[in-house]
Structure 1
C-alpha cells in the first residue's frame, strides 16, 4: 500500500472552494453535502479557505450553512490585538490571492478609456466574463449587449462609428437605431453590421462563428471590404446587397467563415432554443454526448471524460440549467442510462450503464 499522498496546491484549493460556494448558494443535494463534508474533513486548509472565500463575497446564506456544518473557531481568551491583526491580514491575503487568481484565469477584464479625436470623442472599452458568468451592458448609444460565459469584447465608439470586436465566446446585440453610425461587430475575418436590429454571434472556432438574426436585417462582409457607412445604411434599409456582401434577415441562421454556409430559417421555437442561454438554460436536440458536454464545459470548470467511442456518439436531448452539474448527471442517468464517477473534485467520468 502506498503512503504517498497527492499534494494539492493552494490555487487548486481556492478554485475548488469557489465552486463549493456557488453550489451551496444554489442548494446542495444530499450527495453533494456528503462530498463537501469529506472535502472539508480532508484538510484544515480546505475549511479555512472555503470560509475565506465565502467572506470575500459576503454571502451570509453560505456562511450560515458552513457554520452549521463546521462552526468557526471561537476567539481565544486573552488573544492579543496583534495576533488578531495578523489573522485578519492572513485572511485578506488569502482572499486577495483568490481574487487575483480568478481575474487572471478567467480574463475578467473591464477597462475603460475616453479620449478626443476629430469626431469629438473616442470611447474604448474592453469587457469580459468569467466561466459561468453572464453580463448585460447598456452602451452609451442605448444599444444592449448580453454576454455569455467566458466571453470578451472590445468596444470602440466615436462620432462616426460604432465598432465592437468579439474577441471570444458569445454575445447577443440589440442595436439602437442610428443610420448615420452603423453598428459593426468583427469576429474572425468577417463583420456583421446593423443600423438598428438584434442578432447573436458565437465563435465555433478561431475564425468562424454562428450568426442568428433575431430582429431586422444585418449585412455580412469580409472585414477587408471598403464600403462607406452611407452605402451600408442604404443596403440594409433597401435590402439590396452587391458583390460578396450578404444580407440576413430575422429568423435566419448561418455559419460564417469567409463565406456563409448552413443557412437556415428558424421558427419561433428553434429561435428560443438557440437563445435559451439568456434565460440560464442549455438545450440539446439530439447532439452527440461528446459535443453536448463540450458545450456544458463552457459554463463550468468541471471537466468530463467519456468511456468508449460509442458513448461519445450517443445522442442526447433535453433542457438543462446552466451550471447545475448534479441535475445534468441525474438526467443522464435517468433518461440515457449513463453512469458517472467523480475522479477528483474537478473531473467526472461518464460510462454506459451495464445490464
Structure 2
C-alpha cells in the first residue's frame, strides 16, 4: 500500500481556481466542463475558492457558466458591491500569480486590424518562473525560466527577439505575415509550425520542431509573404534554400548551433522530444548527461550555483527525473544514489564531492 498522501496548499488551490476562472471567461469545451466539475467535487475548498474568485472577477460569462453548472449555489448571481476593498482584491490576485507556476497572460488585446498590425510588447520571466502568453493573432508563447522576449508585429511581418532564455511557439497561421524569432545571430522562420528555441549564448542555440517546419537563416535574410508561400514546400535541396545558406528543420528534428555553426540536423525519438520539452511541466529529465551539464541545467531554475570539489565528478553520467528548482531533492538523490556529498559555502553556493567510503 502506498504511504504517499496527496494534498494541496491554499495557494495551490487558489492558483487552480484562477486558471479555471480564466478558462470560463474564454469559454469551456465539453471536456473542460467535465474536468472542472470533477475538480470542484474533489474538495469543498475547491468550490469555495472558485466562487469567491468569481465574485472578484465580475465577468458575466463566468457568472453564467457557474450558474449553469451549479444552479443551487445562491450567491453566484448576486451583484457585486462596488465598495469591495480593492487592496484585498489586488493582494488576492497577486498571490494567485505568484502561486501559479504556469499561468496565462491576460491582457487587453488590440481590437482593430490597424492596432493589431502595430502590436509590440516585452514579455519576461524571472528565475524559476514559467509563463504562457497568448498574442493578439492567437499565437501561444510559453516562456521558460529567466527569459526575455520582445514582440513586434507590423502589417507585413511578425518579428520576435529572444534576448535570453527559452520559448515554445505555437504559431497562428497568417501567410501574409511571416513569423520569425531572432535569437543571437540566427533567425528562425516558422513555416506553419510549433517549435522550441533555447538560447544558451549568442552563438549557441537549440531548435526543436514538434509540428510543421522551421527555416534557420542569418538575421539579414528577410522573408516576405511571397517567399513564405514558396518556402512552405521547400526542403534543404531546394535551390532557393541553398542560395540563402538556410537550413530547414522538420517535425521531430533538432538543430544545434555551436559558435554560430549549424550542426547536422538530428532526428529525435519520441522519448527524446518528451525529455527536451519536460520543462513545460516543470520537470527536468536526465538520461546519461555529464553531471556538469545536468547541474548547469538545474541552475537555470534557481539562484543556487554548484562547485565540483572533485574534477572527476564533471564527467560522471547521471540519469533521473527532478522537479525544476528542487535543489534539496537533487542533493538527496546524489547522496543516496551516487555517494556524492555536499557542503553549502554560502546562501547560493553548493560544493559537491565524493563521499567517504570508509
The equivalences for 1:298-313 within 5 A come to 298-313=300-315
Whole-Å Cα distance in 2 between the matches of residues 258 and 301 of structure 1? 28
The alignment covers a number of residue pairs equal to 255
- Give 1:336's match in structure 2, choosing from 335, 338, 344: 338
For the pair 1:263 / 2:259, whether they are aligned, the reply is no
Contact 1:115 1:123 in 2 (8 A): no
The equivalences for 1:143-158 within 5 A come to 143-158=139-154
Matched with 1:324 is 326
For the pair 1:297 / 2:299, whether they are aligned, the reply is yes
For the pair 1:209 / 2:205, whether they are aligned, the reply is yes
Whole-Å Cα distance in 2 between the matches of residues 112 and 262 of structure 1? 43
Matched with 1:192 is 188
Secondary structure at 2:162 match in 1:
strand
- Give 1:135's match in structure 2, choosing from 120, 131, 140: 131
Matched with 2:278 is 276
Contact 2:177 2:224 in 1 (8 A): no
Matched with 2:161 is 165
The equivalences for 1:48-197 within 5 A come to 121-197=117-193
Contact 2:185 2:203 in 1 (8 A): yes
Q: Which runs of 5+ in 1 are unaligned?
A: 1-22, 27-94, 96-109
Whole-Å Cα distance in 2 between the matches of residues 282 and 113 of structure 1? 34
1:177 CA drift (Å): 1.3
Partner deviation per Cα, 1:116-157 (whole Å, 9 max, x = no partner): 999984111011100000010111111101100000000001
Contact 1:307 1:349 in 2 (8 A): yes
- 1:137–1:119 Cα change, 3 Å: closer
Matched with 1:349 is 351
- 1:24–1:296 Cα change, 3 Å: farther
Contact 1:119 1:158 in 2 (8 A): no
1:226 CA drift (Å): 4.1
Secondary structure at 1:341 match in 2:
strand
Contact 2:309 2:352 in 1 (8 A): yes
- 1:326–1:226 Cα change, 3 Å: closer
Contact 2:156 2:224 in 1 (8 A): no
- 1:180–1:237 Cα change, 3 Å: farther
Secondary structure at 1:311 match in 2:
helix
For the pair 1:221 / 2:217, whether they are aligned, the reply is yes
1:313 CA drift (Å): 2.1
Secondary structure at 1:330 match in 2:
helix
- 1:157–1:343 Cα change, 3 Å: same
Q: Structure 1 length normalisation: TM-score? A: 0.65
Secondary structure at 2:126 match in 1:
coil
Secondary structure at 2:232 match in 1:
helix
Secondary structure at 2:286 match in 1:
strand
Whole-Å Cα distance in 1 between the matches of residues 122 and 301 of structure 2? 21
More deviation in 114-123 or 145-154? 114-123
Q: Which runs of 5+ in 2 are unaligned?
A: 1-8, 13-90, 92-105
